[in-house]
Amino acid sequence: MSPIRVLQILPSLNRGSGVTNFVMNIYKYIDRSKVQFDFLYFNKMPNEYKNEIECLGGRTYYIPMLTMYNFASFYQYIKTFFQAHGGQYKTLHLHEVLIGFILLPLAKHAGITTRIIHSHNSVASEKKINAIRNSFLCLPLKRQATHYFACSRKAGVFLYGEKWMHRVTVINNGVDCIKYSYSPIIREPVRKELGLENNLVIGHIGRFCIQKNQFFLIYLLSEIRKRIPNICLLFIGDGPMRIEIENTVQQMGLTENVQFLGTRSDIDRILQAIDIFILPSLFEGLPIVGVEAQAAGLPCIVSDTITEELKIIDNMFFVNLSDNLNVWIDKIIDVSNSCYSRDTSLCIKEAGFDIRDQVRLLESFYIQN
């Protein structure tokens, strides 16, 4: 018996995308003899997962992203795609909600009976004018979809509204608790490899963009270095603002205290070398990197704009972005002087963030619907 094929619709196949990483985590662990994923994506930024997907039996389809100048051609691309492939799917899982107003009616017309929309964020855009436009584009989604998912309650309320939450299923951004669990055997070689043996190491994972607020980290580092000279900040990720951020680091004389590691496929290893994880985002749904950091047993300091649903273990601390930098510095120093157990696997699993539990939930859903 052939597996059910589910069409996953994503912005890109890039490792730097938290949404893509979430879907790939599910894909790697799902029983592919029962459920197989295909991928429709819109951004040709390095497609680092393309070969892996195809090796696992999935198909990939690229369509140029919708812009304000190509509405007619984008509509035709989507229409042609569903005419050619729609009959292969009974389920569509949409993670790029801004194109749902075009895509979902065409999917319905093609006979796709289960149409899921999945909210991964808590703000429509980092720019006000775009937020107004995006909110308008999202208005038709609830009547065009058949099922409603979110990565957190906050992300659900944002997209669907409080009154709709009884119809929303929260799918936790699960991680492999075994893979990410703390290992001193891995930690020391990685620290040596990166030249970090005698440093307090702060880690940050995220796309270089306004939302992730990396400039705040640079200013924070500039001040905390006055109190902790042997401090190092690891930036893991890539994005449109990377060159600007690298230039700022150089201009502020911080090059000896910062490493840019780029997009990595070994995040689990790098986390072992870090002492404190910091995420000063302006907004998030429920960042998977925060779950990964906690699975590695790291103390985490994050902005209080991030949902408190992210707090799984005790050493997760929320700080207001409008607070004086000294508040952040004091918290970093306090955390660095405290002792925390890095054996957190059981806590992550009991909180429902083990990837295997989320895979079982979704696998059952896909098969039954």
| 3-state SS, residue 151 | coil
Q: Do domains 4-174+354-368 and 177-350 have the same CATH topology?
A: yes
Q: Residues with Cβ < 8 Å from 33, sequence gap 6 or more?
A: 3
Query: Are 13 and 52 spatial neighbours (Cβ–Cβ below 8 Å)?
Result: no
pLDDT at 131: 44
Phi-psi region of 320 (alpha: psi -120 to 50; beta: other; left: phi over 0): beta
State in words which class domain 177-350 has. alpha beta
| 3-state SS, residue 30 | coil
pLDDT at 44: 81
Q: In this structure, are strands 231-236 and 60-62 parallel, antiparallel, or unpaired?
A: unpaired
Angle (nearest 5°) at CA 168 between 355 and 122: 80
Paired with 39 in beta bridges are: 8, 60
Residue reference for tokens 């059952």: 364
Q: What string of DSSP letters covers 238-273?
A: --TTHHHHHHHHHHTT-GGGEEEEES-S-HHHHHHH
pLDDT at 129: 54
- pLDDT 10s per residue in the chain (369 long)? 789 999 999 999 998 888 999 999 999 999 999 999 999 999 887 668 999 999 999 999 999 988 878 889 999 999 999 999 999 999 999 999 888 999 999 999 999 999 999 999 877 555 555 544 445 556 668 889 999 999 999 999 988 989 999 999 999 999 999 999 999 999 999 999 999 999 999 999 999 999 999 999 999 999 999 999 999 999 999 999 999 999 999 999 999 999 999 999 999 999 999 999 999 999 998 999 999 999 999 999 999 999 999 999 999 999 999 999 999 999 999 999 988 888 898 899 999 999 999 999 999 999 999
State the amino acid at position 214 in one-letter form: Q
Query: Are 171 and 149 spatial neighbours (Cβ–Cβ below 8 Å)?
Result: yes
Query: Are 262 and 239 spatial neighbours (Cβ–Cβ below 8 Å)?
Result: no
CATH code for residues 4-174+354-368:
3.40.50.2000
Domain boundaries, the chain: 4-174+354-368, 177-350
Closest to 290 in 3D by CA, of 351, 210, 243, 244 = 351
